[in-house]
Amino acid sequence: MLRFASKIAENKEMLTALDAAIGDADHGINMARGMEEVRRRLATYADEDLGAFFKTIGMTLLSKVGGASGPLYGTLFLRMGIASAGKSELTDGEFAAAFVAGVDGVRQRGSARLGDKTMVDALLPAMVALQRALEEHASLCEAMEAARQAAEEGMKATIPMQASKGRASYLGPRSIGHQDPGATSAYLLVLSATEAICQAAHSDAIAKPRSTG
């Protein structure tokens, strides 16, 4: 999550510029404010329960991120928290199940479908790619890389779409030709998770031979 907070901060102006074209020009500002508060709270966080961890993130984003993004990102992490309650570690399958629960929560909260030009256009393909890769016995790092690629493709696919949800939908055909800011921040989330998971897997691969030598 700290990696995601950093990426949001680094891309704050880009996200705001994307939102200025089809929205309220505040997506980058709102997300940066919310993730900075997440960073602050995690600095002293000590609970090993992953359910509580995700709940803390979700409640923070609900309270600190304005607009539609706060409830949507809040729901994503709250649902992940429910799915991982009482666990200090997650298997690959449990992680995927938590992500599925989170994405389903976003879809329900926003009544969004693939092609509506929202964050779902990045999250849903990522979810499907993650599940498919794990079913084919890929490592979690490999599965997350597949999810990242799918999220990136989904994000870029919003450019030629006409928005069907949110303020962007008021523009009608004028929303065509612009990348959706929500899909962009959602891609940054998947990218951050992929980098963190693959870095941890690489570190474990290096450490194990040393511990058995």
196-210 tens-digit pLDDT? 999 988 776 554 444
Backbone dihedral region of 166: left (phi > 0), alpha (psi from -120 to 50 degrees) or beta? Answer: left
At residue 23, the pLDDT reads: 87
Question: Is a pLDDT exceeding 60 seen at residue 103?
Answer: yes
pLDDT over 70 percentage in the chain: 95
**Which residues fall within 8 angstroms of residue 188, CB to CB, at 6 or more apart?**
4, 7, 8, 11
Confidence of residue 24 (pLDDT cuts 50, 70, 90): confident
Average pLDDT rounded to a whole number, residues 116-127: 97
Looking at every residue in the chain, the average pLDDT score rounds to 92
Compute CA distances 12 → 17, 23, 116, 193, whole Å: 9, 15, 23, 18
Lowest-pLDDT choice from 34-38, 86-90, 163-167: 163-167
Average pLDDT rounded to a whole number, residues 115-119: 96
| Structural domains of the chain ordered from first start | 2-212 (1.25.40.340)
Question: Is a pLDDT exceeding 50 seen at residue 213?
Answer: no
At residue 67, the pLDDT reads: 81
Query: For the segment 60-78, what is each residue's pLDDT rounded down to a tens digit?
Result: 999 999 788 999 999 999 9
At residue 170, the pLDDT reads: 84
Question: Is a pLDDT exceeding 70 seen at residue 211?
Answer: no
Question: Is a pLDDT exceeding 90 seen at residue 8?
Answer: yes
